[in-house]
Structures are given as structure tokens and as C-alpha cells.
Structure 1
Amino acid sequence: MKMYKKLLLSLFAAGTVVSCTDNFFDVNDSQNNPVSSTPELSLPVAQKYSVDILQGGYNSYNTLGNLWSYTWAAGGDFIYFTDETAYILSSSFRPSMFDNVYLLPLRNYHEVEINANENQDNYKAIAKIMKAFHYQYLVDAYGDIPYSEALQGGTNVQPAYDDAQAIYNDLIVQLTAAQALINNADSNDLIPTSNQDVMCGGDMAKWNRFANTLKLRILLRQSEIGVTDYSSVNNGIGFLAANENVTCNPGYVNDVNRQNPFYAAFGFTVAGDPAANKNATRVTPFIAGNSTTLGYPTNLLTGDPRKQALLKPVGTTTNYVGIDQNRSGGLNSASLSTYNDFFISSATQSGMIMSGFESAFLQAEAVERGFITGDKAALYKAGIEANFAYLGASLGTYDTSYPVDDLLTPVNESILNIARQKYISLMHINGFENYCELRRINSWGAIVPVAPDASQPTRPVRLPYPASEYNNNPNNVPNQTNTTYFTDKIFWDN
């Protein structure tokens, strides 16, 4: 409770400073007009917003990713997720996924970076790492975006759009610079307290490993287009361990506007009633394993003890039933499976930023491709076991049913196995990463179904720029058509 009160004071302080600007609530202006605050105040605010953007409610990256990676669907008695699953895209489609990233986390991290004094290099490093984290996902969603001229305040209210691949290249530079700040910090450099750094509690060695893991994700995203220089991660720092998760908890409590944002949107209200999205959100047959009508593989979770931890059976039965997207009037929600109660265990639960099991799978693939050294089978197994532990599932005979020796098959099959395990591990908690991987690894994207009866026969390859950009930055925002969203791939999507 004390931590959350301090965060609320930080939010109030930041809001008080910004309220001097008439256009504070104008999203387009605010993305280039950051607040004035102190690193100590801005850092926990930015981190809280990172969870909201990534893993929060209906408009989060996680929700869209779970829909576009064909994990979630709406129950037949709900008219929900209609534009998302019908692939109806326009400049009014989920504008907060662009606007709010600049408005909320990025502007606060930028304040941390530019206001850090000479003994706050650790604060500056954290800000650089998290800016890279959000800019990568903006590129993955939109392609070219405001970057080098963004967040400059009133000096530039119409920033240019930078080339997506050039941004990716610079993210490696920024992450390396952040690591240098951490590595070169001396005894005079302040370390954030656990109330100021509500992700890693001031553990700068962990931030260093997190930065290296983000670099690995960025580099591997480009693996299909011939990027093979991995020298920036072969630096002796290492990566997040398989059981080492980066989470965020500013002190969530079961009170209005203070709950974990995923719990608040998909769990229960403070009064204990189902939250707005809880009863509508169900899983697809691809996850539940009850249909082959669209050619689903029957072995996605067959024999996998995690199925009981990942999914909630129907009522008091042991049956798992899914519904295809765009099936309004089909089975009602009470007759369908959804995410397990584990994912909405408490209003006070931490929000996931990046998991150690994702790190293990990234490393396994990098070893398989010859980019780093290591034991790919051991890393693959460590990722699976860490996910079991995270879910509280018993491994049982899983290694016998799905041996790590699968990785001894040809390289493309090995990468497909890793992609499959990553998909299972990240469903519900980072659907957007799964959506990105479907685009990157064509063999995996060909297996995971596309929404039936959608406006297009293929899943979207990018998001539309929001109307705010066409209204307020018309000379710079790229032109798009409906075809663009399905054919104009992000540069790494080969």
C-alpha cells in the first residue's frame, strides 16, 4: 500500500507539472511535448504505464496479439473484438496503441533520461532500455515511426518519420550505451530504490541482462533477412535466466483504478463482479483442441500438462471447448473454455514485461542459428521447465512425450519447435510477441490459423497509423490504404 501511495503522489506530481500546458490531453501534441519532472518521480510512473500499454485492458498490445495470433475469440453470445477478428482496419483502429505509447511511457522515460544528473546514470540507463523496449514494438506494429525527432516538445510538433530498419539499428546502439552507463557507474552513482524502480528494484545487473536479452530479441527479429552480426550481445554480460522474469508492480491493491490492469479488465471488479471483458473472452479451438474443421494440428496441447494450467474447462467438467473467431451466435460463453484463473489470480499480481522462458527460447534459437554459443537443447528444456514452474504445472512425463531431441532435426524444424514452445508459453501474457513471431517465422505462421470469414484471407501485417497523425502531422505520416495493412510488411517480415 505504501508503494502505491508513493506512485500516486508521483502521478499527481507529474500531472501537476503538465497541467500548465493547455494541450496536456491532446494526444498528438503530448507525444512531442513531454512532462517536466524528476527521475525519481517519472521512473515509477513510466513503468506503471508500460504494464498498461503492454498487458492491460482491451486496447493493450497483449489483447490484440492474442486475437491476431488466434488464441482468443469472443463467446457466441457476445459482440466483441469485431473489428479485430474481422480484420476491419482504418485510421480509427486502436489509436491508443500508437498515441498512448508516446503520451504515457515514452514521455516519462524521456523525462528520466534528459533530467538525470551526473550521479543518476543508472536512472538514465533504465530509461534508455525501456525506450528501446517500446520503440521496438512500435516498429513491429507500424513500421516507420517518429523517432529521432519525437519527444522534442514545442520545438518540433510535427516530427519526421524514421526508417524502421534504421530505428532497429539505433536501438542496438542505445541499449549498448545503456549497458555502458551501468558498467561504468561508480560509488557516487545513485541506485534507484525499490519504490522508484518497480520493475527490478534497482538490481542493475538484472537491467544489464534485460538489455542484452532485448538486443537478442531485436537481432533475431531480423534473422530471416540475413542479419548475422551478434557481436553486441556476445559481451560476457549474459541474458535473463530461464526463471528470471522482469515484472512490474507499483503496489497494486484491490481498489478502484489501483488493480493490476489485466486483472481489472479480464478478472473482477473491486466488488467481485466479472470485469468488462471477462465473460466475453474465450479461447479458440486451436488452443482448446476440440476442432479440426480448419485443419488444426491436434497436438498443440495434447499430452501437455500445461493445458490444465493455461485453460479453464467448461463449467464443472473436464472438457475444453473453443470457438472460432467471427462465430457470433455460436456456443455461448458458459459453454466455452477461457484462460485459467491463474492469469487473474489477484488484483495485486505483478504485470509481466519480459519472461525468462522467452529469454531461454531466444537463446536456443540463436545457438541453433550459430549466432551465439551454448547448449541449444539445454536452453530449450530450461525454457519449457521455467514455464511449467511459472504456471505451477507438474512436468510429469512431458520430456518423454516431447523430448528435447526434437532439436536434432534439421534447422527449420528446430526453429519451428522453439516457436511452438514460445507460443504456448506466451499465450495470454504477451500475445503481441506471438503475433510478431507468426510473421517472422513463415513455417509457424502457416500452421496457426487465420480468422475465418474475415474481410481478408490473410492476417494483417501491420497496424494503421491513427487519425491523430493524419490530422496533426499530415506532411510526415506515410499514406496507407486498406491493402497496405495486409501486404506492406514490416522490413523484417520476409
Structure 2
Amino acid sequence: MKKYIITPILALLFVGCTTGDDVNLDPHAAYDTTQESLVTFAQKELSDYMNTPSVNENNFRLTMQYWQETIYVNESNYDFTNRNVSNNVWTDNYVNVLKNLDQAEQIIKAYVPPPSELSTWPAKKTNQLAIVDMMKIYTYQVLVDTYGDIPYTQALNIDVYPLPKYDKASDIYSSLISKLETDLSNLATNGSSFGAGDIYYKGNNAQWKKFGNSLLLKLGIALADVNPTLAQTTVNKAITGGVLASPQDDCKFQYLAASPNENPMFQETGSRDDFIAGKTLVDYMNASNDTRISKYYTDVDGSYIGQVIGAPGEFSEFSNAGEFAYTATTPGVILSYTEVAFYLAEAAARWGIGGSPSALYSTAITASFTEWGVGADAAAYIAAHPYDASNWKKSIGEQAWVALYNQAVTSWNFYRRLDYPLLVAPTTAIPNANGKVPVRLQYPAAEATTNGTNYAAASAAIGGDRLTTKLFWDKF
């Protein structure tokens, strides 16, 4: 089977592999391609969503008060309806990622190998299916953690289920964990899979095994407050299986210097001055003497200055995002060693799993400093900000918030689960936010109009389609 890598021409070709604005997809879309090319495209689309700062799609750098808008401050004040943000998030993940992965899965299952591949295809097929499913699981977790109940069992079969029902978020989580355990059991670390078509790990199945166990850890930790028994069992399995253990294990998408394959941050920042530093994080880092600030932001005459959240500001008067955000080839992060290190610290703090909470807390902070090229400064920072066992949620929550500056979607999960840092909504926030930082996105308006019955049932089941409605795992 021919392997593909992303090129500008191929990227344009892939547009034909996506579907229309309906969530669960254009039944007339044509798929005349290989599983490798579909996986490549889905990987890029997933990375684009997780990493873009586009106010039309991903506003979590604003929600987590890392960045602030310069002129049009709607999204900083939680007005996500003006630009149909939820519609775009829904389409990005269901159509551009999940449907392409699902089509790749169908091609894999239907493939009839020639005689020359008869001996190798069965193992390769198993590995490909496991990897595709892992990416689907990752994406479904993103969607559940964004909305709560979502279409799942009927989501990708538009011919049979043109108006899919919404499944309970807790049931989806249980299913994802079960599926992932099966995938990890099926995946052979020494076999072949997608080769160069796999931009994340270049067909390295041993790395995918670490990714899968780390994703299992992430799923387990999310359930800590709502289903501690399943959470601990899942976390133990993940750690035993072997999670990301160094920055070399990071799951990333390597962007290119040429359009249209630059990092989406660069696409948003390279030609416009739309974002400046947010005061909340800048002030915290200034007060903490945190040397990562020089990587996170630019200085203004030697000082780091952030604008009040929700308020406009002149681009030249405040710190801007650091050089990484203005570099076309900055990799897009999907899952990082730093993130995993904080999960391990949390597991130790909650249940005594995996080692000393204090030591793992230090490891996680050191991982972040190393990630940003200032590893030599980590020890002094940790000494000045030691682990507090009496309020471990504050210790881990605040430090994870700082460390996951470039993983805002993930940071939002830590914030909701641990209730730190103590973010304050701007006084100018829209009334629908009820004076609070959002803990979910509202369902897309398109769902209310095209899938109204199922939308209404889901809204009632979760306690109301509001920015302030907590997810099932967000108990405190």
C-alpha cells in the first residue's frame, strides 16, 4: 500500500474527504483514497483544532486567561455564539477527524491483500485498526469533555442514523476505556502500521503503545471524583502498561514552513495582531519569578505586561505571545510528557499510586521547564514553590495551569477537575456566563435546528444547555 505525507497539493485533495456542515456528515461525500492518506489528514485536522487560537474554533487560550484579544473581545467575554464557535468545534472533530478515521477503518477492513502481502497483512491490519481507534478515542474524549452527552453509538453512520441520539457521557467514558484496553492488547509493538502516513509517530508502534497507555491514564484521572474505583483501576493499568516517559515520547504533529501546512498559531498570528498576553498568567509568573515567562511572552521594555481579561488593548503596549507562536514549524501538541507527568503526580496525591506525590510534582514541573528550554531553572523554582500535601489540588492545579500554557484544551480539564487556579470571570462577560468562567460549551445551534428532538433530550439530561452546566465528572 502506498504511503503518503502531507503536502500542499495533497492537503487540497483532502478537502474532498471531508463532509458538509451537518454534524454527522454528508452522505454524498466521495472517498477514493487510502487509509494512510485519511489518517494523515485526520491527524493534521486534530492537531489543527487542538492548537489553533482561531476565535472561530478554539478559544481556550482566552478562557484559561493565557491570552487576551486586542480589539474584538467577544470571545474573551464568552460570547461564542457570534462566530458559531460550537458549530465549528463540532464539525472539526466529528467531520474532519472522526469521519475520516472511520472511513480509514472501513478501508482497512475491506482491503484484500495481493499474494505478496498475505503473510504480513493480518498483523499490519490489526495494528492499523488499533491506532485508528486510539485516535478516535482521543477525539471522542475531547468532545465529551467539551459538551457532556454527545452522539456516539450512532454518530458516524449517517445512512442509518441521519439524526443520531446522544449517549450519556459516563457511558461513553466506560466504552472508551474498554475499547482502549482492547486496542492496547491488540497492538504489536514490533509490527508495521502506517509508516510515513503516520505523522505523529512515523509508524512506531512502541510509541503508540505508550500513547495508548497515557490516554488510558488521562481517561482514568478524569473519573477520579465521580467513579474512583474505575479511575484507580484504569490508572493502575495505564502505569503498568508504560506511559510517556520523556519528551521524546511526545505525540506531536510536525508542521511545515509552506502554506497550507504551517502551525495554525502562525496562521493566526503571522499576519494579524489579534492577541496579547493575559494579565492573570503574566502576573502569576511575575510574582513567581518564573523564567518560562521569557518563552511564553515577549517583553515590553524589559517588563512582562498582560491586559485585564475581557478588555481590549493595544498590541504594542502589552506583551505578546512568544516566538513559538510566530514560527510556522512549531509542532502541534496532542499529548505531552509534561501533561502525563502531572497526571502521575495527581494519581500519587489522590491514591498513593506510582510514587511520592512531592517527587512526582517536582518531576512534572521539571518536565515543563525542560520543554521550554530552561530546565536549569527548575530546581530553584520548585524550592520556592514546594508541594503542599495539605492542599495538593492547589499545588498541582496551579502548576499544571502554568505548565500547560500551550495545551489550553487540556489545561481547561485540569482547571475543572481540580478547581485551581481560582480564575475570575471578567465583569464584562456575557450574562449567560452568570459571572463564571465557562465549564462547558453549549451545543451547536445547528443541532437544535436539525436534530431538535435528540438535542432537547440531551440538554435536559445534562441539566440544561448552558456554559455553567458541569460535566458528569466535574463534581466539586
Q: Deviations over 1:376-395 (max 9, x none)?
A: 33322222222222211253
In 1, Cα distance between equivalents of 2:235 and 2:302:
45
Secondary structure, aligned partner of 2:276: strand
- Worse-superposed segment, 25-34 or 433-442: 25-34
Secondary structure, aligned partner of 2:68: strand
Secondary structure, aligned partner of 1:476: helix
Counterpart of 1:112 in structure 2 is: 104
Matched, 1:131 2:136: yes
Supply the AA of the counterpart residue of 1:385.
Answer: T
Secondary structure, aligned partner of 1:95: helix
Percent pairwise identity: 24
Secondary structure, aligned partner of 1:326: coil
Matched, 1:159 2:161: no
Counterpart of 1:240 in structure 2 is: 244
In 1, Cα distance between equivalents of 2:451 and 2:415:
31
Secondary structure, aligned partner of 2:233: coil
Counterpart of 2:256 in structure 1 is: 252
Supply the AA of the counterpart residue of 2:60.
Answer: G
In 2, Cα distance between equivalents of 1:365 and 1:223:
10
In 1, Cα distance between equivalents of 2:26 and 2:175:
20
Change (3 A) 1:17 1:44: closer
Secondary structure, aligned partner of 2:164: coil
Supply the AA of the counterpart residue of 1:309.
Answer: K
Counterpart of 1:294 in structure 2 is: none
Matched, 1:302 2:288: yes
Aligned pair partner of 1:100 in 59, 76, 92: 92
Matched, 1:380 2:366: no
Supply the AA of the counterpart residue of 2:217.
Answer: L
In 2, Cα distance between equivalents of 1:114 and 1:486:
36
Instruction: For 1:20-419, list aligned pairs within 5 A.
Output: 24-30=19-25, 36=31, 37-59=33-55, 63-75=58-70, 78-79=71-72, 81-82=73-74, 84-90=75-81, 92-117=84-109, 118=122, 119-183=124-188, 190-193=192-195, 195-229=196-230, 230-235=232-237, 236-243=240-247, 244-249=249-254, 252-254=256-258, 256-266=259-269, 268=270, 275-276=271-272, 279-289=273-283, 302-314=288-300, 317-328=301-312, 331-344=313-326, 346-370=327-351, 372-396=353-377, 398-403=378-383, 406-407=386-387, 409-410=389-390, 413-419=391-397
Distance apart, 1:226 and its partner CA: 4.0
Counterpart of 2:443 in structure 1 is: 465
Distance apart, 1:209 and its partner CA: 1.3
TM, length-normalised to structure 2: 0.86
CA contact (8 A) 1:222 1:492 kept: yes
CA contact (8 A) 1:282 1:337 kept: yes
Distance apart, 1:135 and its partner CA: 0.7
Q: Deviations over 1:337-377 (max 9, x none)?
A: 12211333x32222111110111110111112126322333
In 2, Cα distance between equivalents of 1:359 and 1:365:
10
Change (3 A) 1:233 1:352: same
Counterpart of 1:21 in structure 2 is: none
In 1, Cα distance between equivalents of 2:409 and 2:354:
28
In 2, Cα distance between equivalents of 1:165 and 1:43:
28
CA contact (8 A) 1:69 1:431 kept: yes
Q: Deviations over 1:127-167 (max 9, x none)?
A: 11111111111111111111000111322211110001111
Change (3 A) 1:29 1:135: closer
In 1, Cα distance between equivalents of 2:314 and 2:323:
19
| Greater RCO (CA < 8 Å, at least 6 residues apart) | 1
Change (3 A) 1:299 1:389: closer
Counterpart of 1:488 in structure 2 is: 469
Q: Deviations over 1:51-109 (max 9, x none)?
A: 11111241476x4111111111123xx12x41x22223549344101122111011111
- Worse-superposed segment, 447-456 or 352-361: 447-456
In 1, Cα distance between equivalents of 2:407 and 2:6:
28
In 2, Cα distance between equivalents of 1:299 and 1:148:
44
Secondary structure, aligned partner of 1:225: coil
TM, length-normalised to structure 1: 0.83
Change (3 A) 1:375 1:466: same
In 1, Cα distance between equivalents of 2:380 and 2:264:
38
CA contact (8 A) 2:298 2:322 kept: yes
Counterpart of 2:117 in structure 1 is: none
CA contact (8 A) 1:282 1:323 kept: yes
- Worse-superposed segment, 203-212 or 470-479: 470-479
Counterpart of 2:414 in structure 1 is: 437
- Structure 1 gap ranges (5+): 19-23, 269-274, 290-297
Change (3 A) 1:209 1:368: same
Secondary structure, aligned partner of 1:154: coil
In 2, Cα distance between equivalents of 1:400 and 1:48:
38
Secondary structure, aligned partner of 2:260: coil
Q: Deviations over 1:459-483 (max 9, x none)?
A: 1222111122122212211365997
Secondary structure, aligned partner of 2:334: strand
Q: Deviations over 1:415-468 (max 9, x none)?
A: 3211222111111x21122222222112x15x2222232123111222111122
Change (3 A) 1:299 1:336: closer
Secondary structure, aligned partner of 1:146: coil
In 2, Cα distance between equivalents of 1:384 and 1:354:
16
In 2, Cα distance between equivalents of 1:41 and 1:393:
37
In 1, Cα distance between equivalents of 2:130 and 2:81:
37
Supply the AA of the counterpart residue of 1:150.
Answer: A
Supply the AA of the counterpart residue of 1:283.
Answer: A
Q: Deviations over 1:315-341 (max 9, x none)?
A: xx111111112223xx42201012211
In 1, Cα distance between equivalents of 2:325 and 2:11:
27
CA contact (8 A) 1:55 1:352 kept: yes
In 1, Cα distance between equivalents of 2:68 and 2:353:
38
Q: Deviations over 1:30-58 (max 9, x none)?
A: 27777634322211111011111111241
